[in-house]
Structure 1
């Protein structure tokens, strides 16, 4: 059976462009199935997983942008691929396990990940936006978990969505399948910024550059701590965070940052 890439004229399922900045690189990952609204096929998820794994081991990358080619960000899972395996429990378990591993890998990635969203971000595409650490969207972008409309509740997208937006609003999106526009998504906390289409590229890159200019060690420590502490109770969260701050305070970059602030100069990060 020919590979998915072969069936699409050998076009790569995922594109990568590295953008150099003064402090380090920004990896731009573009979902490249535009005719399918970048639906997350097994092949595309494998390609994205491979890049995430590579970036995790590459200290020269300071930030990551995930975006979609064509008219939309991501329409979720590839429904034609799912239907082609009708009744195959093993395939369904494997595909949803693969997606879950991909999402948790993004959360565990030391570098911050920014979703750059245009068009639609639905079902697992909405899950991907909710999973990314930050998100900037075109004002015309639409978000939703419409699985309920086709008899397939968005249970795995629910995990990320319910951790990004308030419970009642998450349930309304999941139970009705209604779409949410970018300004409302920003109000709910699903995205950070809703900007005019003409400003989407500039605003996303500006945010990525700002993040990339921070100490990579500090970002790694802080990102891991953020996602761990939100699962704890208040007392446990404070105890854990105090330990993290103690470890962070002993790092060379913390010493450098404090010295630079006192001396009114730009810090020189060493990542240690």
Structure 2
């Protein structure tokens, strides 16, 4: 991207991507009439947007939000039933898993801004993000069990975001959880009034965007790598990461700036 205007916008239905001048990339789901259900087209568009964000040095943090009363109602069930064969289902769930993994492996933090319902794969989408902020009006569920279809792929992200007992409660009961319950379970970081949601999320995003992009990349990658390791292996790995990080120019700049009581100037290297 070379456009230097304050805000650069690239539209590709069913999403909208805007990269703000302060380094915040806002990715908006725009299938509000379909409750932002994850159609094949939407998942393809999200993947493409994430690739674009990954390659854009100006984008340092991502805010994922949605238009309409629903954040994301999960998979598009009508689309799924239109091709009721094994190959279609395998391709669909493989694409969804690839998209969710892309969020985790994106070298930039992703914040979910949740103002409505997030159910099934929509709840999975929230759980896959690095941070999540919910309005008091938000609701969360993995209701597949009610339809005879256990939320097995949402379970992967959910069980890594919340405790096992809480994850199983959501998966087995299939009931809606309010925002305060989601906060208590650890699915979201904060719960705020609807009118405060956007400002809260953008405030967090701008704080993150002010950090060294190299440090953010190193930190996010290291977090997800070490959390799956045994304790001794995790410390050995993290020690190697810290050593490499200390050799970076941004680490030298940050420490020197702290010692000399000035603002650091990040170079991303």
* TM-score, normalised with respect to structure 1: 0.94
Q: Deviations over 1:48-73 (max 9, x none)?
A: 00000111111110010111111110
- Root-mean-square deviation (Å): 1.1
Partner residue, 1:246: 243
The answer to whether 1:148 aligns with 2:164 is no
What secondary structure, in the 3-state scheme, does the structure 2 residue paired with 1:20 have?
coil
What's the offset of the Cα at 1:263?
Answer: 0.6
Write the distance in 1 (CA, Å) between the matches of 2:216 and 2:115. 27
SS of structure 2 residue aligned to 1:64: strand
Moved beyond 4 Å, runs of 4+: none
Select which of 190, 206, 225 maps to 2:222. Answer: 225
Tell me how far 1:267 sits from its aligned partner: 0.6
The residue aligned with 1:71 is 69
Contact 2:12–2:45 (CA under 8 A) maintained in structure 1: no
CA distance in 2, matches of 1:188, 1:259: 40
Partner of residue 78, structure 2? 80
Quick check: 1:27 aligned with 2:25? yes
Compute the displacement of 1:11 (Å). 8.1
Identify the match of residue 180 of structure 2 among 183, 194, 199. 183
1:131-170 correspondence to structure 2 within 5 Å: 131-170=128-167
1:61-90: CA deviations, max 9, x gaps?
A: 00101111111100000000111112x111
**Matched position secondary structure for 1:15:** strand
Deviation at 1:186, TM superposition (A): 1.1
Which runs of 5 or more structure 2 residues have no equivalent in the other structure?
Answer: 1-10
Q: Does 1:56 align with 2:54?
A: yes
Give unpaired runs (5+ residues) of structure 1: 1-9
Partner residue in 1 for 2:100:
103
For these two proteins, the number of residue pairs brought into alignment is 259
Taking structure 2 as the reference length, the TM-score comes to 0.95
